[in-house]
Amino acid sequence: MAAKRKRGALAAGKAKRARSAPSAGEAVPEGGPQERDIPPQEYSIPPPVSQGKWKNKERVLIFSSRGISFRTRHLMQDLRTLMPHSKADTKMDRKDQLFVINEVCEMKNCNKCIFFEAKKKQDLYMWLSNTPQGPSAKFLVQNVHTLAELKMTGNCLRGSRPLLSFDPIFDREPHYALLKELFIQIFSTPQYHPKSQPFVDHVFTFTVTDERIWFRNYQIIEEDASLVEIGPRFVLNLIKIFQGSFGGPTLYENPHYQSPNMHRRLVRLSVAAKFREKQQVKEVQKIKKKETKVLVEEDPTEVVFETPAEEKPVEIQFVKPESKPIVKDKKKLRKIQRKKQKKLFRTE
């Protein structure tokens, strides 16, 4: 039979256990933890990786619509790995309106958004937006090359903060200045972010060439600022800049933009024009073959350099010529000819 516990036994057991750290309301005695026979390891707190406070609470939501290709999916994943302050979400249905993304960003506690929109399973559009107030910009993405596709030699530290390098034209044009501020707020990793590393070892470059923005990612491999491209890379063709988030009044429209549908239509028309030209040449050749040949009148200048031959009197021979003897030996033939000549001289 089990022995009964005493009434004060449980209280005594609890009293023996010493608390590891004093609560916020309690005061630490003057003797310190060593005088109270508490090991000092329980009070040692490891210092944080980055000595500072995370003030810039920028969070970027990166997701896409349904129907994207495998290359777009890999590009989206590459951007998520390069940006530690990004968040992911499930794909959005095509039937949903774009302003629904503002509510998704609010639920995910994000104030920036990169949305990839696929159309016709071949055209890719990118939305960069500051939710929910705006502005937002729509781009056509071209020449996409992902990290796995490039296989470059560089390898930067995951979670490190990037440097952002911009073309000088971003400071001259007003619409490029707006895009520059949007790129800075979206692609730059906030300082002292919990998932970031306190190192700067790669550069995001934004260059304007041929009325397009070229994005490249380089790693800084040495102190003399030698760069190696590590990817991903893509080209952004600006379409429009809107005042609101995913809509609203149009602030800027690119006059040099040509839609992919128009480009494909012009290519088809050029191919059709070449084919039509070949058919017309064949028809002209057939018509030329069927036409009757027209005789050209004689040219009087053709006979200028012709010299007429001398006219010889026509001789009529009434006596049958003698048949020549067939002699195989040439010496005998010559002897016979000489004999005949001698006879002729004698008769004369």
List the domain boundaries for the chain.
60-262
- 225-278 per-position pLDDT tens digit: 788 888 899 999 999 999 999 989 999 999 999 998 999 999 999 999 999 999
In the predicted model, is pLDDT for residue 318 greater than 60? Answer: yes
User: What confidence tier does 49 reach under pLDDT thresholds 50, 70, 90?
Assistant: low
Q: Which amino acid is at 174?
A: P
Containing H/E element for 270? helix 260-290
Name the token pair of 279. Answer: 């058919």
Q: What is the pLDDT of residue 29?
A: 47
Residue type, 67: G
Write down the pLDDT at residue 37: 52
pLDDT of 16 reads 44
Torsions phi, psi of 29, nearest 5?
A: -70, 160
Average pLDDT of the residues in 44-56: 65
pLDDT of residue 276: 93
> 193 versus 186: which is more confidently predicted?
186
Weakest mean pLDDT among 26-30, 102-106, 285-289 = 26-30
Mean pLDDT (whole number) for 61-74: 91
pLDDT tier at 122, thresholds 50, 70, 90: confident
Q: What is the mean pLDDT of the chain?
A: 82
Scanning the chain, the segments in alpha helix (DSSP H) are: 9-16, 32-35, 70-82, 100-107, 147-150, 174-187, 260-290, 330-347
Task: Say which residue, 26 or 214, is predicted with more confidence.
Answer: 214
Q: What is the pLDDT of residue 41?
A: 52
Lowest-confidence segment of 154-158, 166-170, 275-279 by average pLDDT: 154-158
Contact, 236 vs 141, CB < 8 A? yes
Cis ω for the linkage preceding 22 (within 30 of 0) = no
Q: What percent of the chain has pLDDT over 70?
A: 82
Give dist(CA 15, CA 275) in Å, integer.
98
More confident residue, 277 or 299: 277
Residue 50: its pLDDT value, please? 54
Tokens of 223: 């102190």
Of residues 309 and 211, more confidence is placed in 211
Q: pLDDT value at position 53?
A: 81
Determine the pLDDT at residue 20: 45
Q: Does domain 60-262 have CATH number 3.40.50.10480?
A: yes
The answer to whether 71 and 123 have CB atoms below 8 angstroms apart is: no
Question: What separation in angstroms does the CA of 312 have from each of 57, 136, 309, 315?
Answer: 120, 106, 9, 9
Q: Picking from 24-28, 81-85, 104-108, 221-225, which range would have the lowest pLDDT averaged per residue?
A: 24-28
Q: Is 171 helix (H, G, I), strand (E, B) or coil?
A: helix
Give me the pLDDT at residue 176, please. Answer: 94
Rg (CA), the chain: 49
Quote the distance between the C-alpha of residue 185 and its chain's center: 24
pLDDT class of 325 with cuts at 50, 70, 90:
low
